[in-house]
Structure 1
Amino acid sequence: MKTLQFHINKPLQLSLIALAISASIAPALADGYGLQSANRDNAKVEKWQCKRCTTSSGFSGSVGVGAAYNDASDIHFGNTSGTDTDGAVGHIEADVNYRSATGYQTHIEADKLGYDTGSAKIETGRPGQYQIALGYRGLANYDTNAALSPYRNSGDQLVLPDSWQTGATTGQMPTLDNDVTETTLKTQRDRFLLEADYKGSFYKADINYQHEKRQGKRAYSGNLLTNSAMLAQPIDDTTDELAAKIYFNGKGWLVGIDSSFSQYKNDHQAVNWNSAFTPTFGAAYEGQSAASPDNKAYRVGANAQLNGNGHQVLMNLSVASFTQDQAFLPATINGPSPVLPTSNLDGQVDTTDMKLKYSGRLARGLSVRARYDYSDRDNKTSLNPYPQVITDSYYAGTAVNPEYDRTKQLVDVGAKYRFSRSIYIDGGYRYDHNDYSDLDRDSLQQNTLYAKLNYRVSPAWSAWIKATASDRTGSAYNAVTTTSSPSNPYLRKSYLADRERQEYKLNVAYSGSEDFSASANVHANFDDYDDTQVGLTSVDIQGYDISASYRVNEDFNINAYLNQDWRDSEQAGSTNFGLPNWYANTDEQSTLVGAGLDYQNLFDSKLNLGLDYSYSDGQSDTDVIQGLTSPYGDYFAEKHNVNAFAKYQLAEKMALRFDWIFENYKDSDWLNQGLAVDSIPNVLIFGDLNHDYNAHYFGLTFSYQM
């Protein structure tokens, strides 16, 4: 369980940090005295054989089978339990190793296999020489099973009942209440993996293949002129990825080549739907919108690493190409379609990426680093005038497809100086430069300075503070006018606007004993869009984290954590395509609280217990000021979660585990809070999609130790 992992992983994390620090210092202090420098020419290594060491062969590990009862009327609980089945569900668990007498090893693992989010993997080979693995993993996202809609899926078509009667508004559809049914919105991914690697005396090669199939339904908006309907768009696509690489290494160097190929295929070429409304103008009885097209991607990269005498250089160069040549759909299915300039996009985007990194020690206590990144996106797709059909209803002229080319460069230089064993300072300078095409600005530049002071107050206490300041500016801001919806000339889009940013972080940690550890940090960010009249003008973020774990004794561990964040943002808007005449303030807050315990070896070392509790709450309040202050409605999500288990050792090799999950969850979005399918006259919606439920999961797993 997640909260228990903190107690287990925290000492390891501290050990890795200590190891990394000692590894960076040791060569400077003990050059020539390491084990690698020892003279072994006269050593009689044949006498080093371990007389008492034995290599066991055969099976080890455990297998298990489980049954559970999932009491959840809302499938959203499946994001916690791993399944949306309401009622009984079974699964398989395994963690089995097989070792042969000749050194071959096979590992089989399975976790909740049988659930939508189950996984399994089998790996075999000779460790240190070669490995082959086959794997499966399920991923799922559960949105709602209460979306109300009169539409039914029929292949690529979303159709209305045969008895459907259209209306000018949703309130004038006489059979609407009788025809709506609950529709499930969720996405299921099934990933299948094949991996193989081989290690030689001076090289290593591996190959990976992954096939992913995705199915489900998601919310989609189908528009015809001034009318719109929420639709459950079907999802049925696959993605195949193949990657291979080979690396050669020697003393102080490593070079390699890696390549990859991916292909995306969509079984649905378009979303087609019958209009639920009486046509406003003309005869738009149906709508059609293109789905994600099939596409391919290729990538080849070269890597090199050189190191020696405290210096290291890393180099990477890669090129990639993304293509898409699926045939176009007609510009409209309502009336004669304007002529398209070509039968398919024949799209191609090429990218080039290069990275150079250097790090080294210049003197005792002083190390420096430098980094240069270059990235270029070149759209080679032909530019053509394409007809613009608004909501599949009327022709609105032509527009040329933009290129959206981009070239990005980054330079980062820094240094670290250690004053003593207890104090060091780390700082640097970063420069980002971006060149764009077809955006409101041709270029952006950002300069950043950062510094960090680390102080180990005592063997038990440590602290560090970090400050960052950055300033983003760019070329003249010229609003794009090539689209059918030009921007307000006073508007500054937040990702392109001038911005001054300040960031501060403070961390304090205690690790004075193996039994108790704790840490706390605070952070604050301040963004000022100082040259924006219309758009986002400021964002302030503050927060803190506190966590601690305590080992009461060898069998009893407890932990707790608390996190809170606040985000305040301000923006200015305009209703008359000019200077601002309304303003909005948004206050967001999130809280996460949790505690857990782990009690082992109860009842003559036969019973282990675990309990985790977590509470999370996120909310957003927005006020719009235009003469009068108009607050938005509720927008929040709140969850209480209890996760408990008890594992009892029935016999030497048999155990029974009981799991219980309880979740109390509710959220609200003012956009559809309390609305019915016909609450908006010209929009047929899914109804109120907010969640409010209590759900339980009860599971029993029988395991056998091999």
Structure 2
Amino acid sequence: MKKRICVLAMLSLCWGVTDATAAGPDLDGYVEFGGRLFDVDGDEAKFNEYRDIDNGVYGNVDILSYWEGGYYIDFLAENIAYDDQAYWLNGGRFGSLKYLLYYDEIIHNITEDALTPYDGIGSDTLVGTGETEPALWNSFDYKKEREKYGGDVEYAFENGYFVQFGASNMESSGVMPYGGTSSAEFPAPIDWEENQFNITGGYRAKKLTASLTGQFINFDNEDDSLTRDDTIGSLPPDNDVAKVLGKMVWRPEYYGSVVALNAGYSKTESDEQLGIVVPGETRNFDGEITKWHVNGSWKFEPIEDLDLKLLARYDDRDNDSTVLTTLDGNENENYSSEIFKTGIEADYKLSRNNRIDGGYHYLNKDYEGRSDSDGADDNLFFIQARNYSLEDVELRAKYSFLTRSGDYTVEPGETDEGYRSYDVADQDRNQVELEGGYYGVEDLGLDLEFTWFNADYDDTEVGLVELDHYDLYFSGTWAIQSNVNTGFYVGFERDYSEDLGDAAETTYYTYAAGLNIEAYFMAEKLRLYAGWDWAESDGKSEFDSADIIDTDEVEDFTQHILSLKGTYFIDEAWSVTLGYVYEEWDYSDDQWNNYVIVVPGSRGDTFLSGAYDDQDYEGHTGYLSVKYKF
């Protein structure tokens, strides 16, 4: 009902705008309706993972109405009546009033025709049927549907002050895979609602801009826990978030200065029922985390051609949540932190066509309640050069170096050392960025980009040891003739990681390429387009231990997309488009290959329901549409 009311309200407002043409507003925009046919061989859920392509009619609308005096209304509708439909209505008066109403749907299809030996799918209580033959299990779809609607309005007074109000509601429903308190895979309900309200007041002028914002967010999960055979598993808890944020930008008249300050405070509270294996026993957890920060920067020009920037930031996180005691009697310590950052940056114009900039940042992290570390110190240096002196050539090069020193609560090699997280491990990190462009031939543009990143985690005997990444991309555009344009790109990426004390090395190689061509014929009444995109990834893991088998296929995939489209412009207003899209997705991973449904009890308490199984697909989509522009 809410969906219908929201959509009909915006449509009626749009019709009101259209009917008002007799009163004299100017109209701009288009109306497009068409038909579509598709066929998928394979996993239709993966094909439609974040969209809704179906056989039938579809439509898109964009209507802009504007009047003398600066008043305007713009209505936009996409994928009307489908599960990924969206509607926006914004308007106001330029310079004083802005408002927005919207309704947006997002769908996430995960797996179709999953199986489970439980009744009560979609509820907070699953009851086992005792059936051990998967062919007789209940069939269902893993998917999430989200509906979000809301709006905001802003009014700016003539004296520079402004106020803004906004509110939104987001509802999520569906079924998601869940592991619960064991390694079993079973359907958990999604029945969430999130409400958000914010108010802002501020001032805008040439030399000073300042604002103060208050925001409140409420998240409510209708199902706080999931019960399965007397076992209780926790689901996302209800929580409330309150925030206050202040911002200021001041431009005084000395040294070309720009001073920026902002500060914020937030408090998050949650109430969760924790599940444990013992039947009939539960515990309540009250979460309370407060955060606040303040940061500022001063950018100025002390001498000609030199820009300096000083910056600083302080973050504080306090955790006053319930202190829990585990079943073996151990008591946890809540995690809190303080982070301080400061730095200086400089940008100097060497000559008319050459600039160099660089800087230094220092970051100190102080932790309380972490089992692996009391904090860490970062020192970051970077330098960048830009050159435009070569005719028709643009060059940019940047190098940065970070060194991190961690303050560990355990020493390398000790039993607890395996719990150390890589975000506080000692490390040296190097990064290089190179970019070049050539535009020396008329109607031709070429760009080359290269990035290299390496992080060595010193003295880590258990955990992450090294990360290494580089990528290279080459792209260009070429207007072959006045009526023929082309574009292309090719790319390569390599990602390498080493962990578990030199026992595992994982490498990903990713390749990508694309080509498109667009041509106009018949005095530009006919537009033809063809585009092809290809991406492929090859991953593997190698182990030193003879007890672990190397994996030759780690998240391997190949994707092909071919798009063909022809548009005939009947006149300045009417056009007809005929198109076809071919899509292919092949996925292979040694952890998922030869996936089979596992019966409860056959592997201890582990069983599988089919989530994310067999993602391969080959899809064909054809469409015909008519567009009217006005």
TM-score (norm 2): 0.89
Higher mean alpha-carbon deviation, 443-452 vs 195-204, is at 195-204
The amino acid across from 1:675 in the alignment is Y
Cα 1:272–1:260 change in 2 (3 A) is same
User: Separation in 2 of the partners of 1:178 and 1:77?
Assistant: 23
Higher mean alpha-carbon deviation, 667-676 vs 684-693, is at 684-693
Residue of structure 2 in register with 1:58 after alignment: 26
Residue of structure 1 in register with 2:127 after alignment: 159
User: Separation in 1 of the partners of 2:337 and 2:205?
Assistant: 38
Give the counterpart of 1:71 among 30, 36, 39.
39
User: Separation in 1 of the partners of 2:200 and 2:292?
Assistant: 18
Identify the structure with the greater strand proportion: 2
Give the counterpart of 2:207 among 209, 229, 252.
252
User: Separation in 2 of the partners of 1:626 and 1:70?
Assistant: 48
- Offset, 1:556: 2.2
The amino acid across from 1:642 in the alignment is L
- Offset, 1:590: 1.3
- Is 1:132 paired with 2:99? yes
Residue of structure 2 in register with 1:424 after alignment: 355
The amino acid across from 2:295 in the alignment is K
User: Separation in 2 of the partners of 1:291 and 1:359?
Assistant: 47
- Is 1:699 paired with 2:623? yes
- Offset, 1:546: 1.0
- Is 1:312 paired with 2:270? no
Cα 1:299–1:107 change in 2 (3 A) is same
The amino acid across from 2:34 in the alignment is G
- Offset, 1:143: 2.3
The amino acid across from 1:536 in the alignment is L
- Is 1:409 paired with 2:340? yes
- Is 1:199 paired with 2:156? yes
Cα 1:378–1:567 change in 2 (3 A) is same
Give the counterpart of 2:559 among 630, 639, 653.
639
The amino acid across from 2:518 in the alignment is D
Q: Say if 2:51 and 2:108, in contact at 8 Å, map to a contact too.
A: no
Cα deviations across residues 109-151 of structure 1 (Å, max 9, x unaligned)? 1122233222211112222220221112222223222433333
- Is 1:113 paired with 2:95? no
Give the counterpart of 1:532 among 445, 460, 465.
460
The amino acid across from 2:203 in the alignment is F
User: Separation in 1 of the partners of 2:353 and 2:68?
Assistant: 50
- Is 1:367 paired with 2:307? yes
Q: Say if 2:265 and 2:291, in contact at 8 Å, map to a contact too.
A: yes
Higher mean alpha-carbon deviation, 63-72 vs 359-368, is at 63-72
Cα 1:428–1:652 change in 2 (3 A) is closer
- Offset, 1:649: 2.3
User: Separation in 2 of the partners of 1:187 and 1:257?
Assistant: 35
Residue of structure 2 in register with 1:142 after alignment: 109
Cα deviations across residues 233-280 of structure 1 (Å, max 9, x unaligned)? 221211112222122133422221112111111121112224xxxxxx
Cα deviations across residues 283-339 of structure 1 (Å, max 9, x unaligned)? xxx32201111101011122211113411100001111111235x3665562x537x
Cα 1:302–1:489 change in 2 (3 A) is closer
User: Separation in 1 of the partners of 2:553 and 2:113?
Assistant: 20
The amino acid across from 1:406 in the alignment is S
User: Separation in 1 of the partners of 2:96 and 2:45?
Assistant: 45
The amino acid across from 1:507 in the alignment is E
Residue of structure 2 in register with 1:282 after alignment: none
- Offset, 1:652: 4.3
Residue of structure 2 in register with 1:606 after alignment: 525
User: Separation in 1 of the partners of 2:355 and 2:616?
Assistant: 51
User: Separation in 2 of the partners of 1:101 and 1:306?
Assistant: 34
Q: Say if 1:77 and 1:663, in contact at 8 Å, map to a contact too.
A: no
Q: Say if 1:492 and 1:533, in contact at 8 Å, map to a contact too.
A: no
- Offset, 1:102: 5.1
- Is 1:493 paired with 2:389? no
The amino acid across from 1:299 in the alignment is K
Q: Say if 2:122 and 2:188, in contact at 8 Å, map to a contact too.
A: no
Structure whose CA Rg is larger: 1
- Offset, 1:105: 1.3
Give the counterpart of 2:169 among 194, 202, 211.
211
- Is 1:672 paired with 2:592? yes
- Offset, 1:450: 0.6
Residue 603 of structure 2 aligns to a residue whose secondary structure is coil
Q: Say if 1:491 and 1:533, in contact at 8 Å, map to a contact too.
A: no
User: Separation in 2 of the partners of 1:121 and 1:250?
Assistant: 30
User: Separation in 2 of the partners of 1:402 and 1:611?
Assistant: 59
Alignment map for 1:167-246 (pairs within 5 Å): 173=132, 176-201=133-158, 202-223=160-181, 228-246=183-201
Q: Say if 1:457 and 1:463, in contact at 8 Å, map to a contact too.
A: no
The amino acid across from 1:690 in the alignment is D
- Offset, 1:642: 1.3
Cα deviations across residues 355-413 of structure 1 (Å, max 9, x unaligned)? 10111111111111111111111112243x44x4xxxxxxx334434311011111121
The amino acid across from 1:669 in the alignment is D
Q: Say if 1:372 and 1:409, in contact at 8 Å, map to a contact too.
A: yes
Residue of structure 2 in register with 1:82 after alignment: 51
- Offset, 1:536: 1.4
User: Separation in 1 of the partners of 2:167 and 2:565?
Assistant: 37
Alignment map for 1:325-364 (pairs within 5 Å): 325=271, 328=273, 331=276, 334=279, 337=281, 340=283, 344-364=284-304
User: Separation in 2 of the partners of 1:223 and 1:521?
Assistant: 47
TM-score (norm 1): 0.80
User: Separation in 2 of the partners of 1:128 and 1:425?
Assistant: 38
- Is 1:622 paired with 2:541? yes
Cα 1:538–1:140 change in 2 (3 A) is same
- Offset, 1:701: 2.0
Cα 1:206–1:611 change in 2 (3 A) is farther
Structure 1 residue ranges without an equivalent (≥5): 1-54, 166-172, 275-285, 389-395, 481-485, 574-581
Q: Which runs of 4+ in 1 moved over 6 A?
A: none
Sequence identity of aligned pairs in percent? 20
